[in-house]
Chain A
Amino acid sequence: MKVLVPIKRVVDYNVKVRVKADNTGVDLANVKMAMNPFCEIAVEEAVRLKEKGVVTEIVAVSIGPKTAQEQLRTAMALGADRSILVETDEDVQPLGIAKALKAIVDEEKPELVILGKQAIDGDNNQTGQMLAALTGMPQGTFASEVNVADGKVKVTREIDGGLQTVELTLPAVVTTDLRLNEPRYASLPNIMKAKKKPLDTKTAADLGVDLTPRVTTVSVEAPAERQAGIIVGSVDELVEKLKNEAKVI
């Protein structure tokens, strides 16, 4: 069975982003970029399914700038067999990405698509669900456990009240939550091998997809800073402040 793993190049999660002085966005100049953490979990899950013998081929795909090749190479170093870059300099948004992915799904016909539940830049949490709707596939979002058997996939989902398990017919879309697995690190020999794995480049025009954004960013501001308060000397003082000053208890 073939699995498609869409990934995104984003600011490394350790970087504290700063809003640009002109409020047009966040400053990404000379900032370390990396694979979105939820996407790493998606790659790891696909690799584990391959190690279990459930999956035979893993295809990584990214819709983004030429530099996203780096993240696709990382995915291949982690175990993806080949990858596809849909190259664009457009400010890609979930609907456009989902349409491009649908075109790739139509060509590749994977039985499972595993992707991150959200990217840590836009925090949209939309792409997997949109892809599922456009392709008519069922979805198991925010997955903390994935089991494939008998032409179906059982997904345990992290929901607000606890955990929910659903069973989906294949092909299906799964989006990963943090506790699905702990991604491995790529070994040096595997990083070297990944350089020789196939990486196809396509354009949105090749796929017949329009990536024009539907939502424009008017401005970006830094959030309101919270002022540090006071350090109290004792529990008594804390109780007194909460009762008489903050009046919250």
Chain B
Amino acid sequence: MSVLVYAEHDNAALNKVTLSVVAAAKAIGGDITVLVAGKGCGAVAEEAAKIDGVSKVLCADNDAYEHQLAENVGDLVAEVAADYTHVLAAATTTGKNFAPRTAALLDVAQVSEISEVIDADTFKRPIYAGNAIATVKSSDAKKVITVRGTSFDGVAAEGGSAAVEALDVAKNAGTSSFVGEELAKSDRPELTSAEIVISGGRGMGNGENFEILYKLADKLGAGVGASRAAVDAGFVPNDMQVGQTGKIVAPNLYVAVGISGAIQHLAGMKDSKVIVAINKDEEAPIFQVADYGLVADLFDAVPELDGKL
């Protein structure tokens, strides 16, 4: 067996989720090669070479891959996949975008967002917004898989010493081009990798009121998220959404503030180690999954909590 792991990065640094994908690759077994595709991404390749358990790094440095356009990356990975039994990518918006293209080009099914590896052909994955967990077996000779990062503890970022090989393959379909992006600028930790996440819901009332969460988050070194209700109401941008249709998080501590606990939201955070809920409605479903519930007005409780930490 031989596994190709597609590295997630921003051309400057490796995204930690890649360490979780390598962990899934280890569970499958065999040699692990990491493919870094981007522009000016040499430093990322060097970083990938140090990942524990990686035997080789392929670096495809080309203009066509700068913005991870699915048309170009999907083609590249389909070609590189010839030498591997498994192709793994993170179930991020990058992985979800290109991996099905790769699978279709290889005429194989994709197994999406696996949460556990049973053996080289068999995997567990959530379906119906996490209300059921399916064990599925792929009959294809080659497997294209996306991995739910929070379900696998990442391998060590250091300890490996793989060789980096330049890959001179330029795939440019010429049908798509990058126009621009608006990335949320934040000094707080990224939601999917933060140790502590504090999320606000409809109960926050408006976007300005999120300030009390930001203040508390900065004290704890936490990331800040939101429920779909808070995003749909326009309080905060969509990239803060935690839930089945947003980000899936599993921090050590998750603090849900003014969140009722819709199934949609629970699907995105119920694997957190410790859950705290602060809500003035004692009937809110969030209390059914919380380890510690506090029935209180959040506008009193959050500043008080902030003051006592």
Contacts and interface: CB of A to CB of B under 8 A. Distances in A.
A191 B305 CA distance: 54
Interface in A209-249: 213-223, 226, 228-232, 234-236, 238-239, 241-242, 246, 248-249
Contact of B292 (A93, A123, A124, A242): A242
Contact of B108 (A16, A17, A214, A219): A214
B139 A141 contact: no
Nearest to B144: A126
Contact of B136 (A121, A134, A217): A217
Given A95-B104, A123-B113, A163-B181, A142 B128 contact: no
Contacts of A219: 134-135
Given A218-B122, A236-B308, A169 B290 contact: no
B139 A17 contact: no
Given A123-B113, A242-B292, A246-B274, A160 B133 contact: no
B247 to A, nearest CB: 7
A197 interface: no
Interface residue range, chain A: 35 or more
B110 interface: yes
Contacts of B93: 141-142, 157-160
Contacts of A228: 287-290, 293
B112 A220 contact: no
A120 B195 CA distance: 29
Interface in B242-273: 244-245, 247, 252-253, 263, 270, 273
B293 A248 contact: no
B239 A126 contact: no
Nearest to A239: B308
Contacts of B304: 235
B100 A134 contact: no
A205 interface: no
B175 to A, nearest CB: 4
A218 B298 CA distance: 45
Contacts of A178: 228, 232, 245
A121 B294 CA distance: 34
A125 B113 CA distance: 9
Contacts of B174: 169
Given A121-B127, A158-B239, A215-B139, A138 B294 contact: no
A94 B108 CA distance: 10
B85 interface: no
A11 interface: yes
Contacts of B67: 164, 166
Of B69, B174, B238, B275, most A-chain CB atoms within 10 Å: B238
Interface of A is mostly: mixed
B238 A129 contact: no
Nearest to A164: B181
B176 A159 contact: no
A130 B101 contact: yes
Contact of A168 (B97, B175, B192): B175
A94 B253 contact: no
A132 B181 contact: no
Contact of A232 (B228, B239, B294): B294
Interface in B191-205: 192, 196
B69 A94 contact: no
A132 B173 CA distance: 12
A189 interface: no
A166 B139 CA distance: 35
Contact of A26 (B132, B253, B287, B309): B132
B181 A162 contact: yes
Nearest to A172: B175
B110 A94 contact: yes
A93 to B, nearest CB: 6
A27 to B, nearest CB: 10
Top-9 shortest CB links A-B:
A229-B291, A129-B100, A138-B175, A130-B104, A214-B109, A126-B100, A133-B101, A133-B104, A138-B176
21 contacts: A16-B131, A17-B131, A17-B132, A125-B112, A126-B112, A137-B175, A159-B94, A160-B93, A166-B177, A169-B174, A216-B137, A217-B136, A221-B133, A226-B289, A231-B294, A231-B295, A234-B294, A238-B294, A239-B308, A246-B274, A249-B196
Given A128-B100, A159-B94, A248-B274, 16 more contacts: A120-B128, A123-B126, A133-B74, A139-B70, A139-B176, A142-B96, A142-B97, A162-B183, A163-B238, A165-B180, A167-B179, A215-B109, A215-B136, A215-B139, A228-B290, A242-B253
